[in-house]
Amino acid sequence: MTAKIKPSKGSPYARILGVGGYRPTRVVPNEEILKHIDSSDEWIRSRSGIASRHWAGPDETVAEMSLEAAGKAIAEAGITAGQIGGVIVSTVSHFKQTPAVATEIAHRIGAGRPAAFDISAGCAGFTYGLTLAKGMITEGSAEYVLVIGVERLSDLTDLEDRATAFLFGDGAGAVVVGPAKEPEMGPTVWGSEGDKSETIKQTVSWDAYRDRTDVRFPAITQEGQTVFRWAVYEMAKIAQQALDAAGMTTDDLDVFIPHQANMRIIDSMVKTLKLPEHVTVARDVETTGNTSAASIPLAMERLLATGQAKSGDTALVIGFGAGLVYAATVVTLP
């Protein structure tokens, strides 16, 4: 007789219990960017909605920024680091291929011996991490999971590239995901379109930079108009699918937290989705820039801290970017 696998003893549901963020102390206004490109503050604002961004100093490493954000999220969740059974870090700007920065973070916060790993899903990485954390909790392999989105994109910014020099910022956002008695995180609608992988990419691979002396340090580049059209039209469809999967309509929403790529993209998605006026829309990109995997948790933290959103609100979150990859879900705010 074939033995049967023992069923898992995880929680039937999961939710976000706490959120924390860290923005580097250095604020970089558009005027500083204009020292390197032929443009204007008006042009940058009209194209992106960005007025300033934060850039990390030498001591504000990927790990240090993550620790600051994680500490706030753990405290807000009302748990101890020792209760964390998983640490997931989404980043494209941790320059060590191995070991994962998640293992360093797990050790330094005193989490014991949790599962710890990094993921590379670009600007959708945080939402990917949320989904993985939910799965860990519902299957019973962890009771609490720390999910971090962190970037030092200033290290990968070509200051002479007029199309991207003004876009990117640095920072870290973190949440603690734990068990829930009711559904607090909807199904995730996620996927990829690898045929468009060239639209957002690193200019040269690390081995090309190693082997050749005639190439500049790698930077992030993108085909702006192609990405804009894809984000506005295709991602609005994905956002609607996430609402449908959760059994909700736009009228049921309190908050919309899209990846903070560009103000024009955000405003166009709001229009395409026909969001009601009562829905609060995150527009953190104005003073934070595009922080890739960190943008959603940073925007979430700011909405809650400023009172624009409150605990228990229903929020639609969607991340999208290099890959091209995307992920959307409906969550209850901590």
Q: Which residues are catalytic?
A: 123, 259, 290
- CA 319, 320, 323, 327 torsion-angle sign: positive
Do residues 157 and 51 make contact, with C-beta atoms less than 8 angstroms apart?
A: no
How far apart are the C-alpha atoms of 296 and 2, rounded to whole Å?
A: 46
Tokens of 176: 């603690």
Q: What is the rounded radius of gyration, in angstroms, for the C-alpha atoms of the chain?
A: 19
Tokens of 86: 């998983």
Tokens of 193: 């379109």
Note if the bond before 324 is cis, omega within 30 degrees.
yes
Residue 140 is given by DSSP the state T
Residues in the chain: 334
Tokens of 293: 């995997």
Angle, vertex CA 119, rays to CA 14 and CA 313, nearest 5: 35
Q: Is 308 helix (H, G, I), strand (E, B) or coil?
A: coil
- Residue owning tokens 């999971």: 145
